[in-house]
Amino acid sequence: MQSNPRALAEQIWLAGVDAVRAEPLLRSQVRFIDQQIGCPEFDLDVPQGGRLEVVGAGKAAAAMAAGLVASFGERQRFKAELTGWVNIPAGTERDAGPIHLHVGRPAGVNEPTEAAMEGTRRLLNRVEQLGSDDVCVVLISGGGSALLAAPLDGITLADKLDTIRCLSAGGANIEELNTVRKHLSAVKGGGLARACNAGRLLTIVISDVLGDPLDLIASGPTIPDPSSRQDALQVLARFDPQRRLPESIYRLLEKEEGATGDGNAGFPPICETIILANNAMAVDEAGIVAEQLGFQHAMHAAGKSEGNAEAVGKHLAEMALAMLREEGPNCLITGGEPTVALVDSEIRGKGGRNQQLVLAAMQRLSAEDVSDSERQRIAILSGGTDGEDGPTDAAGAVLDAGVWERLALPESRDLVIGDYLHRNDAYSFFTRLNGLIKTGPTHTNVCDLRVVVVDR
């Protein structure tokens, strides 16, 4: 096979992302017919005279809202007024008709803000005013935790930010992060459902958590919380052993168990939830396209947190070497979401977990006796399906022959792989070597997708 490995890896990766784009999924999978909302696994009756109130949050929420409105425009024998309020990141705005899209945070900054708090207050006020004949449709996708911000009494937004930043910098995984978030919030851990006075509640999910645990996706605003405050304290004990976080956080968590431990008490009488897309779906579609392109491929979607990004990157490099030198598959597609432990801010550079992963793969390959001709036959790509990787404008990075060639130029002598890896500065490294993947917002979010191709 004579080919351009980088171009093929990018084509396969984009096919996986395209398969989970929110707007076409909502438009095709959710229908409004005969006074029912039709979903792939069930139909939900809508009482005559009832309203449809659409709320939600996440990186894909604007596209989900637009897709739902488009489907509503094709309704048949269905009468109801549709309105709504959805919190979204900047840069994802689009026409969602009667659903108001509220920008709750800047692009590339996945943290709660005052704007997110105001949007959440407005959202909760709307669902509180619904009645027993109304249906509340909740659109949830990754990034929803930061966009649904309602700190419990006794703590401030700054307290929450300090806590989440501490956990993130320490390499906490999404399960650990969201376990803590739920117990600091009035909207997470089922809080939105308890505030909702509609007779029926339908939650539509695009999953960004491996294994699809509903209570952790966007911190489960409409799902009973199986965790306890003690669970949250155990997470903090690991990442804040000196108790340097605000004392208000500990005072709250050390109180007797609150509402998040009460199961689905206070939820609307009828609650349904459906997952329309997840990481495995993206991996599967990428595999189909790889096969169409002539590759013999292997694929795997992780079902739980993978651990350190550098370890994952080194493993992918070792798999690339095996595919280069042995019979069998010549394309590997994997999905997951590793973590990165950040160095001290005084020396920290700029990057994200996917860029860190690819740089670690590059370090592993550089330690092997790999000829220039062999390097030209390998491409390793890792990118966030949401188009974001850390606080950068890149989705991830790719290692190919061109990156190696530019690294060998005299002006690249200062680019020491180990140094940039240690300082979490992969963005600066790959910027100079044309190794970044930039897509802009993809209007979906199902964790990360990685593609390794070998030309042989």
Is residue 148 a contact partner of residue 186, using CB atoms and an 8 Å limit? no
Q: Six-digit token pair at 128? A: 């509180």
- The answer to whether the beta carbons of residues 386 and 108 sit under 8 Å apart is no
Q: Domain 5-14+280-454 falls in which CATH fold?
A: glycerate kinase, domain 1 (3.40.1480)
Residues contacting 308, CB < 8 A, separation 6+: 171, 338, 339, 340, 341
Domain chopping of the chain, boundaries: 5-14+280-454, 21-277
CA 189 to CA 178: how far, in whole Å? 9
Side by side, which strands form the sheet with 436-437? 297-301, 331-336, 448-454, 378-384, 396-399, 436-437
End-to-end Cα spacing for the chain: 6
DSSP-derived secondary structure for 329-361 = -SEEEEEE--B-----TTT-----HHHHHHHHH
> Beta-carbon neighbour count of residue 409 at 10 Å?
11
Exposed (0-12), middle (13-18) or buried (19+): which is 412, by Cβ within 10 Å?
middle
Residue-level pLDDT, tens digit, the chain, 456 residues: 457 999 999 999 999 999 999 999 999 999 999 999 999 999 999 999 999 999 999 999 999 999 999 999 999 999 999 999 999 999 999 999 999 999 999 988 889 999 999 999 999 999 999 999 999 999 999 999 999 999 999 999 999 999 999 999 999 998 999 999 999 999 999 999 999 999 999 999 999 999 999 999 999 999 999 999 999 999 999 999 999 999 999 999 998 765 444 578 899 999 999 999 999 999 999 999 999 999 999 999 998 888 899 999 999 999 999 999 998 999 999 999 999 989 999 999 999 999 999 999 999 999 998 888 899 999 999 999 999 999 999 999 999 999 999 999 999 999 999 999 999 999 999 999 999 999 999 999 999 999 999 998
State whether residue 449 is helix, strand or coil: strand
Indicate the CATH number for domain 21-277: 3.40.50.10180
d(CA 455, CA 96): 44
Identify the residue whose tokens are 């694929």: 299
Q: Which two tokens stand for residue 178?
A: 């969201």
